[in-house]
Amino acid sequence: MRVAILGATGAVGRTMLQVLEERGFPADELVPLASERSRGHTIPWRGRDWTVDVPAPEAFRGVDIALFSAGGSRSREWAPVAAAQGAIVVDNSSAWRMDPEVPLVVPEVNGRRAAERPRGIIANPNCSTIQLVLALEALRRAAGLTRVLAATYQSVSGAGQKGIEALRAELRGESPTASPFPAPIAGNVIPWIGPRDAAGWNEEEDKLRNESRKILELPDLAVAATCVRVPVEVSHSIAATVELGRALTVPEARAALAAMEGLEVTPDERDPLPRALAGRDVVQVGHVRLDRDLPRVLHFWVVGDNLRKGAATNAVQIAELLASA
């Protein structure tokens, strides 16, 4: 099987290569693609060096699966080209997520949708959405969902390698040359991720709302988020409040969450922490409690590695579905 990676030299692209190797993905040829400045560089993978090229129609010829992680504009430009060459594109950007002809897939939740791809493109959801919908789907199966409130605490790697470099530079006492953040991030939290609309909602907050509805196939589900960037290198955390269709006890809720593939429920005395989840594919849920006043409302804390399950691993899992079809 021939696999292309567009954005192979970026933070998520490199993680995709690592995950493909770790999971023994059945690929025997790699086509690493990136920007002009990376052309000619080599990437070690599975015991040999692969030369990086730039995207072009001929680069996708004979490719079975193309994993994209190079931003929305490049995805809009090259995903249709790759699909026209016969590749199935799994795109990590926001470019195609809300296209009605493009499935938005978290394999544990709606993996069957990967087979429905009239444009030859499958969208990988936003990193925070992926980890949250795993918990939401578990609770939906047990008791139904009425409303979701979420406050996200998103690591700097969600802004790519530039985000990581900006935080490291600030911690060294330097001024970053190309920070992707609207304010200093070291020793700070920034409630501004993506453009803000006239109503005051940031783009990241709309992504979580719209994508969760599409993945769960609940177009009228009430979802509201406050998305915040925090000075953590890897792993996103979410404080979630969910109104259920019927009341659950804490043991019932924990059992429902524990039964969900890809989720791990932590003991009461050990809450999920970003440092502990960095480098892991599992999403952890903890600090589960019932609201003191509203019997159908549940509160919990969700943490996952945004580079792995929140991006690269979810994309590779989609590719695995395609390879096994």
Q: Which residues are catalytic?
A: 127, 236
| 5 neighbors 31 (Cβ within 8 angstroms) | yes
* DSSP conformation class of 87: P
Q: What are phi and psi of 277, to 5 degrees?
A: -95, -15
Give the contacts of 239 (CB within 8 A, at least 6 positions apart).
150, 151, 153, 299, 301
Q: What are the distances in angstroms from CA 55 to CA 59, 74, 82, 125, 254? A: 6, 9, 9, 23, 46
How many Cβ atoms are within 10 Å of 83's Cβ, its own excluded? 17
Q: Is 40 helix (H, G, I), strand (E, B) or coil?
A: coil
Token pair of 229, please? 């960037």
- By residue count, the chain amounts to 325
Sequence-distant (≥ 6) Cβ neighbours of residue 41 within 8 angstroms: 9, 34, 51, 52
- Positive or negative CA dihedral for 247, 253, 259, 263? positive
Tokens, residue 180? 């992707």
In this structure, the strands spanning 48-51 and 42-45 are antiparallel
Q: Cα–Cα distance between 264 and 284 in angstroms, integer? A: 5
Beta bridge mates, 3: 30, 65
∠ Cα 7 27 162 (to 5°): 20
